[in-house]
Amino acid sequence: MAINYDQIMSLKSEGAVSSYTDRETMLYALGIGFGRDPMDTRELPFVYEKDLKIANIKTVPTMGVVIASGGGLNLGKAGINFLMVLHGEQRIELHRPLPPAAAIIHDSRITAAVDKGKDKGAVVYVETKIRLKDSGEPLCTLGSSMFARGDGGFGGPSEGGFAPHEVPKRKPDMTFEAATLPGQALLYRLSGDRNPLHADPEVGRMAGFERPILHGLCTYGTTCRAIIQNVCDYDAAKITGFDVRFSAPVIPGETIVVDAWKDGNIVSFECKVKERGITVIKAGKCTLKA
């Protein structure tokens, strides 16, 4: 079954309601590596509600990509072969800092479906807008792309989607590391993505990997954690946008090395894994409050 261009472009989901609590907020922070040292008082606010007050919890901006559960787009109706799909890009624009707990409403739509050719696959772009249920205040806007490797040649446009961010050509202004744990994916999956590729060794081998791989969105969040620590001095509210292009998976237990360039309120970055020297994130862009 091939992609039906008109059908996929008509897909939308409006008015889906979800909620999350301080438990999910702290679990997400733990899943991307905060709280490894329980004596580090700079990290505790991300994983500990001091004096039992939820308002004391700091939120990680990239958590916005996991809070919209339920509803969503039924892409299976459009003919996509999900066995051949890879997460290509992820973006988030924060309209305000995420609250530690909230009821939300989210609307999703397809913004582009690009045909790269019969033997080259297709790229599908999705936008999700999230707002607070009680006030209707905009919370964040998500953008993502899926690389459907087996679905090219459906007759759609050959161009469209996101323009990649260009990182500077000069030597990085700073380089820092973010370690992951061998069991990182087993913890992160509790934030919503229970794909067995990230937990079951047999499924990992069937997909061509020696062991389960880390979720791309865990790599995304872990990199954000590293920038919060090394660029923002643990003030996560400084971040108003975080965009990446995925280029290879991380194996749990590997160390992510971040090369970063700071120009005004824009932090450009690329990431590789220390153990294999493979680039895992390209065209990274972190936008800070001006």
As annotated, the active-site residues are 193, 198, 213, 216
Query: What is the spatial distance between Cα 279 and Cα 13, in angstroms, rounded to a whole number?
Result: 34
Q: Nearest-CA neighbor of 192 among 65, 49, 22, 30?
A: 65
39 contacts: CB under 8 Å, gap ≥ 6:
none
Helix (H) or strand (E) holding 202: helix 201-206
Confirm if 149 and 121 have CB atoms less than 8 A apart: yes
- Of the CA atoms within 13 Å of residue 114, those in its CB half-sphere come to 16
Confirm if 105 and 17 have CB atoms less than 8 A apart: yes
Which residue is it, tokens 């790269």?
116
Which residues does residue 51 pair with via DSSP β-bridges, in sequence order? Answer: none
CA 70 to each of CA 17, 58, 86: distance values in angstroms, whole numbers, following the listed order? 7, 25, 21
SS3 (DSSP) at 252: coil
Backbone conformation region of residue 229, classed left if phi is above 0, alpha if psi is from -120 to 50, else beta: alpha
Query: What is the spatial distance between Cα 204 and Cα 219, in angstroms, rounded to a whole number?
Result: 17
At residue 267, what are phi and psi to the nearest 5 degrees?
Answer: -110, 110
